[in-house]
């Protein structure tokens, strides 16, 4: 019984100690609301956010600065407005905001930026009245202050800057935009040092633009005093898939389809209407591109030039189609084919169709020299005097020549365009 009594007393003692450790002991080291409140009131006593918090005012405040780009929000090529979501981070030592953490068990506290000194940062190339990064109402801004006086200030928002668009290689265009950040205090008072801080932000991709590179450089701006200047250079490229499928590919397709106007029978009367339809379609695409691109002449987009060339080609092709139709209609007017036209028709007939084997072989062998007076191969004149040529034949030969001419023309134009675009992408 005595042994059991001792065991029960030990159990009660252990129970009391466990209860003490988990209930009363934490309260000895815990912080209360008044502790934090009194600490903030104490360190902010006789503190002015307008004065640099350094005891020796003849020295400059050293502020470590970093920039992080989260995402490209938008880029309006017509207005030249470039919007990004970004963060700015600053770290400095505030000699007026220190306390002994061994006495007050607080390693760091958070304060609103308006209560303490901070560097005066402006965005020089801002496109809005707010010459800084737009953080909204600023209620979510906080500054973390450590017991040794280290201050960490980071805030993010939307930056709206001006940036000129270079659409020469549209829709494969690349752009370079800058964010110019200036500290509105001379380096004698505040010196910014660009350095990567050990924090990272989440990055989000843009559906239209692909981020290539972000460069951060530092320089001095000399006005009446030297000022710190931070240049954030952002390189990005358009994602061209949408424009290639919906704008770029239809243009050469329209151009090559336009050539088939000479394959339509002249008697159908649909040649001219078909050519005009293609011409109006090219005009529609030209207006669509004009609405998308900014109204600037330097540099002019290569694709815009190509659409204009296709438009001019369509106009020329329509004129050729009308000319071929006029030749065909002369057949109904019982008009004779001039001798020179007849000889040239026979010459190009054997060059294109090779219609008569025996006669063609004779023509190919005999075409060696040209008639100096008529500028027509002499062999043609000698070998084809008995050939009958009608205006319908002349019209058919002209159609074949137009098809070859415009096919080569379109192919050369688009090969040159692709060479220029590929050369620009490799730069």
- Condensed to tens digits (0 to 9), the pLDDT of residues 367-424 reads 434 444 445 444 444 444 445 777 777 778 888 888 888 889 989 999 999 999 888 8
The whole-angstrom separation of Cα 110 and Cα 144 is 5
In 10 A of CB 68, how many CB atoms?
21
Condensed to tens digits (0 to 9), the pLDDT of residues 243-291 reads: 888 888 888 888 888 888 888 787 777 777 888 888 888 788 778 777 7
- Cβ atoms 185, 145 nearer than 8 A: no
CATH superfamily of 41-239: Neurotransmitter-gated ion-channel ligand-binding domain (2.70.170.10)
Long-range contacts of 322-327 (CB under 8 A, 24+ apart): 322/272, 323/398, 324/262, 324/266, 324/271, 324/395, 324/398, 324/399, 324/402, 325/266, 325/271, 325/272, 325/395, 327/391, 327/394, 327/395, 327/398
- Cβ atoms 191, 229 nearer than 8 A: no
Non-local (6+) Cβ contacts of 225 within 8 A are: 186, 187, 188
pLDDT at 337 over 60: yes
- What does pTM read for this prediction? 0.73
CA atoms within 13 A on the CB side of 197: 21
The whole-angstrom separation of Cα 45 and Cα 97 is 10
Domain(s) of CATH 2.70.170.10: residues in the chain? 41-239
250-259 and 302-329 helices cross at what angle (nearest 10)?
10
Phi-psi region of 81 (alpha: psi -120 to 50; beta: other; left: phi over 0): beta
Cis status, amide bond into 299, omega within 30 of 0: yes
pLDDT at 416: 92
Q: What pairing do the DSSP bridges indicate for beta strands 121-123 and 143-146?
A: unpaired
Token output for 58: 């003849």
- Please state which of the ranges 15-19, 54-58, 322-326 shows the lowest mean pLDDT: 15-19
SS3 246: helix
- Please state which of the ranges 111-115, 168-172, 291-295, 306-310 shows the lowest mean pLDDT: 291-295
The whole-angstrom separation of Cα 389 and Cα 369 is 23
Q: Which of 150 and 427 is assigned the larger pLDDT? A: 150
- Cβ atoms 205, 71 nearer than 8 A: yes
The whole-angstrom separation of Cα 227 and Cα 223 is 8
391-426 and 302-329 helices cross at what angle (nearest 10)?
170
The whole-angstrom separation of Cα 206 and Cα 380 is 67
Domain(s) of CATH 1.20.58.390: residues in the chain? 243-337+390-426
Q: What does 104-171 look like in DSSP terms, one character per residue?
A: S--SEEEE-GGGS----EEETTBSSSS-S-B-TTSTT--EEEETTSEEEEEEEEEEEEE-----TTTT
In 10 A of CB 297, how many CB atoms?
5
The whole-angstrom separation of Cα 223 and Cα 231 is 17
Instruction: State the chain's mean pLDDT as an integer.
Output: 77
Non-local (6+) Cβ contacts of 85 within 8 A are: 69, 70, 71, 73, 156, 157, 158, 159, 204
pLDDT at 234 over 90: yes
CATH number for 243-337+390-426: choose from 2.60.40.10, 3.40.50.620, 3.90.180.10, 1.20.58.390. Answer: 1.20.58.390
């Amino acid at each position: 019984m005595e042994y059991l009594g001792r065991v029960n007393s030990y159990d009660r003692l252990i129970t009391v100690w466990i209860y003490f450790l988990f209930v009363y002991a934490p309260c000895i080291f815990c912080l209360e609301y008044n502790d934090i409140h009194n600490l903030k009131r104490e360190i902010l006593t006789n503190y002015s956010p307008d004065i640099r918090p350094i005891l020796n005012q003849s020295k400059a405040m050293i502020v470590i600065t970093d920039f992080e780009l989260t995402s490209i929000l938008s880029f309006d090529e017509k207005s030249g407005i470039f919007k990004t979501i970004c963060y700015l981070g600053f770290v400095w030592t505030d000699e007026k905001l220190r306390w002994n953490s061994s006495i007050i068990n607080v390693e760091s506290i958070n304060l609103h930026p308006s209560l303490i000194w901070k560097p005066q940062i402006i965005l020089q190339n801002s496109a809005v009245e707010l010459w800084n990064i737009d953080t909204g109402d600023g209620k979510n801004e906080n500054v973390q202050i450590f017991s040794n006086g280290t201050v960490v200030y980071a805030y993010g928002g939307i930056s709206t800057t001006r940036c000129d668009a270079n659409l020469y290689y549209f829709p494969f265009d690349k752009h370079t935009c800058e964010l110019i950040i200036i500290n509105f205090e001379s380096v004698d008072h505040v010196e910014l040092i660009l350095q990567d801080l050990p924090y990272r932000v989440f990055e989000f991709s843009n559906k239209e633009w692909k981020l290539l590179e972000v460069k951060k450089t530092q320089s001095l701006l000399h006005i009446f005093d030297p000022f710190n200047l931070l240049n954030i250079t952002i390189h990005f490229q358009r994602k061209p898939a949408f424009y290639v499928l919906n704008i770029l590919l239809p243009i050469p397709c329209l151009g090559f389809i336009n050539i088939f106007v000479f394959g339509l029978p002249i008697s159908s009367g649909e040649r001219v209407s078909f050519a005009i339809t293609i011409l109006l379609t090219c005009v529609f695409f030209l207006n669509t591109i004009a609405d998308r691109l900014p109204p600037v002449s330097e540099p002019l987009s290569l694709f815009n030039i190509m659409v204009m060339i296709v438009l001019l080609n369509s106009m020329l092709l329509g004129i050729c189609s009308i000319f071929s139709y006029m030749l065909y209609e002369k057949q109904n007017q019982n008009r004779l084919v001039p001798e020179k036209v007849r000889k040239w028709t026979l010459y190009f007939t054997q060059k294109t169709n090779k219609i008569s084997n025996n006669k063609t072989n004779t023509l190919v062998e005999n075409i060696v020299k040209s008639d100096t007076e008529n500028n027509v191969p002499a062999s043609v004149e000698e070998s084809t005097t008995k050939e009958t040529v009608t205006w319908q034949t002349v019209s058919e030969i002209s159609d074949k020549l137009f098809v070859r001419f415009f096919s080569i023309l379109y192919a050369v134009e688009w090969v040159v365009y692709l060479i220029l675009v590929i050369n620009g992408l490799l730069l």
